[in-house]
Amino acid sequence: MENNTTDTKKKSTSEVKDNPAIKKKVSVTFFFSFQDCSASLIVASVAGAFGSSFLYGYNLSVVNAPAAFIKKFYNETWERRYNQSMTEQSVILFWTISVSIFAIGGLVGALIVTPAVKYFGRIVEVKEDKQGIRGVALSALPMYLSEISPKQIRGSLGQITAILICVGVFTGQVLGLPEIFGKESLWPYLFGIIIVPSVLQIGVLPFLPESPRFLLLEKHDTKAAEKAFQTFLGKSDVSYEIEEVLEESRVQRNIQVASIFQLLCDASKRWQILTVVVTMACYQLCGLNAIWFYTNDIFKGAGLSAEMIPYVTLSTGAVEILAAVSSGLVIERVGRRPLLIGGFGLMVLFFVILTVCMTLQDQAVWLRYLSIVCILAIIASFCIGPGGIPFVLTGEFFQQSQKPAAFMIAGIINWLSNFIVGLVFPFIQEGLQTYCFLVFAGVCLAGAIYLFFVLPETKNKTLAEINQAFAKKKVPLEIREMDQFEDKRKSSREQQLNLSSTLENGEAKNRIV
C-alpha cells in the first residue's frame, strides 16, 4: 500500500513536471512577474532621471558649442550700450558666471528639499521640478530610487542617475554640432530644448506610485504602501516587506523627519555625514566639470582645428555612457568601495599624465594626441565610480527619517562645489596654465585616501550592517536591536520552513495510512 501511494505521488509529480502545458504556464507566469517588477523599477528610475539627471548633464555640456557666439554676443551688447569693447577679463568673468549660474538655482532647490519631500513626497518633487530649482529633483530622485529598490539591485538602479547624466552630456554635444544647432543663428534653441524632457517626465511620473516606505512610515497609509510594493516587486504577497519596514520603524523609535541640525547632532552618524560631504565635494571638485565646461578650449590647446573639435568632443560623451553603463553592470559584483576609490585613483594618474603632455606638447606632436587620450581616460575613470556612487551611498547611509536632511546636505555641497568650479576654473587655468589640472589631481588623491581608510563596503548590506561597519566596535543600542530583529526574522523563517516540512510529512503519512 505504501509503495503504491509513493509511486502514485511520484507519478503525479512527474506528470506535472513533464506536462508541456503546465511548464509553459509556469514559465509565462514567472516571465511576466519578472518583467513587471523590472519594468516598474526601470520606468520609475529612467523617467525620473530623464527630467532631472539628463537635464543636469545636458546643461553641463550644452554651453560648449556656442561658447564663441555667446562671448561675441556679450561684447556686441556691451559695445552698443557703452560704445567700447569689453576687456578680456570681463569677458571671462561674464562667461564663467554664465556656465555656473544654473548651480545657484540647484542650490536653492537643495535648500528646500527637506520640507518639500516631507510634505509632498518623493515622486511629486521629482516630476514637478523646473529649470532653476533642479536641485530638488536631483536630491529627491536618488532618495526615491533608494526607497523603491531591493537591496540586491540598489546600486545598479542607482547608477541610472549617472548614466542619464552622461546621456544628457552626449545629447548636448550632438545638438551643438554645426549641422544642427551649433550655428550663430540657432544657438539660442539649444537652451530651449530642455522643455522637452521636462514635459515627457511630467507625462509619465503621475502614473507611478509614491515610495512605499514614505507612504507607510510618514503618511501611515498601509493600503497605498502595499499597492506600491506590489507594483515595484511584481508580486501580490508583500506582507513580509510591510512587516520589515514597520519593524525597522519600531526599532528606530522616531519616524519624524529629522532636520539638518538634528542630523548633525547625531553622534552615531558623524562619519556617515563626513563621508557624504567628502564624496559629494570630490564629485564636483575632481575637475570633470571643468573638462565638460571647457572641452573645446582644451582640445584647441592640443592643436586640433576648430572644425574638428565638435566631432572629437562626441567621443568624450560616448566614453562617458559606456563607462557609466559598465559600472552599473558590475557594481553589485565589485562593490561601491573599489569602484569609487579606483576611479579617483585613476583620475590622479591621468591628470598627472595630462599635465606632462600639455606642458611638453611643443616638444613632440604625439603628446597632443596623448593628452586627448588622457581626457577620455579621466572621463571613463570618473564614470565607473565617482560619477554615480556618491548618490547611492547617501541613500544607503541613513534611516528613513534622516534621508531628507542627508540629501539636503549632499545637495548643498554638490551645487556649491559645482558653482565654485565653474566660476574659478578659468582663472586657475589662466594663472597656472598647463599645471592647472594638478589642483584636481590633489583633490582626487585626498578623496581616495579618505575613502580608503573610512568607507566600508555597502553592497547588499542592511542599514544596521552599514552602521555597524562605521561604528566598528562601538555598536549603539539601535544597531544591536536591528541585528536582533534580523536574527529573529531568520529564526522565524526557519521555524516556518520546519513547520511546513512537518505538516507535509504528516499529510504524507496520513495518506499512506
Residues 106 and 134: beta-carbon distance below 8 Å: yes
> Residue 153: how many CB atoms within 10 A of its CB?
16
Mean pLDDT, to the nearest integer, of 65-86? 88
pLDDT for the residue 233:
79
- Range picked from 209-223, 317-331, 461-475 for highest mean pLDDT: 317-331
> Would you state the cell numbers that stand for residue 428, as one nine-digit string?
586657475
More confident call, 175 vs 10: 175
More confident: 90 or 338 = 338
Find the mean pLDDT for residues 462-469: 86
Higher pLDDT, residue 326 or 31:
326
Dihedral sign from CA coordinates of 453, 332, 57, 302: positive
Q: Is the pLDDT of residue 473 over 50?
A: no
> Could you give the CA distance from residue 44 to residue 273 in angstroms, rounded to a whole number?
27
Using an 8 Å Cβ cutoff, are 215 and 221 in contact?
A: yes
> Do 289 and 421 form a contact (C-beta atoms < 8 A)?
yes
The pLDDT of residue 36 is 40
Q: What is the mean pLDDT of the chain?
A: 77
Q: How far apart are CA 136 and CA 416, in angstroms?
A: 14
Q: Give me the helices (H) in 51-180, please.
A: 53-61, 67-82, 88-100, 102-111, 113-120, 122-127, 134-148, 154-175
- Calculate ∠ Cα 295-297-301, nearest 5°: 115
Strand, helix or coil at 222?
helix
- Which of 123-137, 197-211, 338-352 is the least confident region? 123-137
pLDDT for residue 455:
93
| pLDDT value for 59 | 83
Q: Which pLDDT score, from 0 to 100, does residue 292 have?
A: 65
Angstrom distance (rounded) from CA 185 to CA 178: 11
Helices marked H in 234-308 — which ranges? 239-252, 260-264, 270-285, 288-293, 295-301
Which residue, among 491, 481, 505, 459, has the nearest Cα to 339 in the 3D structure? 459
Per-residue pLDDT at 67: 84
| Cβ 482 vs Cβ 466: under 8 Å | no
Q: Mean pLDDT highest for which of 68-77, 98-107, 146-155, 444-453?
A: 444-453
Return the C-alpha cell found at 393: 551611498
Q: For the chain, what percent of residues have pLDDT higher than 70?
A: 75
- Taking the whole predicted model, whether its pTM rises above 0.95 is answered as no
Q: Cα–Cα distance between 145 and 391 in angstroms, integer? A: 10
Quote the cell numbers at residue 412.
548643498
At residue 254, the 3 state secondary structure works out as coil
More confident residue, 204 or 472: 204
Q: Are 270 and 398 in contact (CB under 8 A)?
A: no
For residues 280, 283, 287, 290, the Cα torsion angle rounded to the nearest 10 degrees is: -90
pLDDT at 484 over 60: no
Q: How many angstroms separate the CA atoms of 309 and 288, rounded?
A: 18
Query: What confidence tier does 28 reach under pLDDT thresholds 50, 70, 90?
Result: very low
Residue 335 grid cell = 562593490
The residue with greater pLDDT, 353 or 100, is: 353
Most confident of 78-87, 147-156, 485-494: 78-87
pLDDT recorded at residue 338: 95
Residue 241 CA to residue 236 CA, distance in Å, equals: 11
499-508: long-range pairs with CB below 8 Å, 24+: 508/9
Question: Residue 393 pLDDT > 70, yes or no?
Answer: yes
Identify whether the C-beta of residue 389 lies closer than 8 Å to the C-beta of residue 458. no
Going by the DSSP 8-state scheme, the letter that residue 152 receives in this structure is G
292 CB-near residues (< 8 Å, 6+ apart): 60, 61, 64, 169
Mean pLDDT of 316-345: 91
pLDDT digits (tens, 9 = 90+) for 248-286: 666 655 556 788 888 999 888 999 999 999 999 999 899
Give the burial string for 138-149 (b: 16+ CB within 10 Å, else e).
Answer: bbbbbbbbbbbb
As a whole number of angstroms, the distance between CA 163 and CA 510 comes to: 59
349, pLDDT greater than 90: yes
Dihedrals phi, psi of 368, to nearest 5 degrees: -65, -40
**pLDDT grade for 309, boundaries at 50, 70 and 90:** confident
Residue of 159, 118, 156, 109 lying closest to 137 (CA atoms): 109
The residue with greater pLDDT, 274 or 287, is: 274
Burial class (CB in 10 A: 0-12, 13-18, 19+), 492: exposed
Q: Is 146 left (phi over 0), alpha (psi -120 to 50) or beta?
A: alpha
Q: How far is CA 382 from CA 323, 388, 404, in A?
A: 8, 9, 26
CB contact set of 299 (below 8 Å; sequence gap of 6+): 309, 312, 313, 372
Q: Hey, what amino acid is at 154? A: R
